[in-house]
Copies of this chain bind each other. A is one copy, B any other.
Amino acid sequence: MAKKPAPVPLLQLDNQLCFAVYSTGHAFNRVYKPLLDRLKLTYPQYLAMLVLWEQDNVPVKDIGERLFLDSGTLTPLLKRLEAAGLIKRTRSIEDERQMLIALTAQGQALREKAKAVPQGILAASACTVGEMAAMKNELVALRDRLNAALGD
C-alpha cells in the first residue's frame, strides 16, 4: 500500500512561525559571529555586556531577568567574562546571597569597539531602522503573550 499520509498544514515546517523565529535566530548568530570575534565575545556574552553597559554593578538576578536566562546559564558565562578581564564578580555586603557584577576598565573600554557591531547587523538585515523597529515590536508583543501563557 504505502499510502501517503494526508498533509496537515499546521504540521508543515514552512508554515510554522516558530521555526521562522528559530531559524532567523540562527541566521542572526552567523552574521554576528565575525563581528563579535573581533571583540572576543559570543552572542550571549555580548548580551550580558549590553546589560552592563546600560547599568553597571548589578546582581546576577537582574541580568537574568533582563535576558530571560537563569543562573545555570549565567554563572559559567560570567565566569568566562571575568577570566577575560571584562567584569569583576563580588558578593554584596548588604545581601550576601547576591553576586554583584561590575565592569572593569577594560570592560567599559570595550563598549567603544562594540559601537561598530549594530551597523554591521543593520547592513546585513537589509531593512530600514523603521522596519526593524516594527518587527521588533511585534515580536516583543508575541514574546510577552507567550510568557504570559506560561503563568497559567
Asked if A13 and B146 make an inter-chain contact with CB atoms under 8 angstroms apart, the answer reads no
Asked if B146 and A124 make an inter-chain contact with CB atoms under 8 angstroms apart, the answer reads yes
Asked if A21 and B126 make an inter-chain contact with CB atoms under 8 angstroms apart, the answer reads no
Bound-state Cα–Cα, A51 to B24, Å: 18
Known: A12-B50, A24-B146. A135 touches B136 (CB 8 A): no
Interface flag for A90 (CB, 8 Å): no
User: Which of chain A's residues 75-130 have a Cβ closer than 8 Å to chain B?
Assistant: 108, 111, 114-115, 117-119, 121-127
Known: A22-B28, A27-B147, A135-B142. A13 touches B127 (CB 8 A): no
Interface centre among A25, A31, A125 (most CB of B within 10 A): A25
Asked if A121 and B12 make an inter-chain contact with CB atoms under 8 angstroms apart, the answer reads no
Asked if B13 and A47 make an inter-chain contact with CB atoms under 8 angstroms apart, the answer reads yes
12 A-B residue pairs with CB within 8 Å: A5-B111, A10-B115, A11-B50, A12-B54, A18-B28, A19-B47, A19-B50, A20-B143, A21-B139, A25-B25, A124-B149, A138-B138
**Known contacts A13-B66, A24-B146, A135-B138; 20 further A-B pairs (Cβ under 8 A):** A8-B115, A11-B114, A11-B115, A11-B117, A11-B118, A16-B118, A17-B125, A17-B132, A17-B139, A18-B28, A21-B139, A24-B140, A27-B143, A123-B149, A124-B145, A124-B149, A125-B142, A125-B145, A125-B146, A126-B148
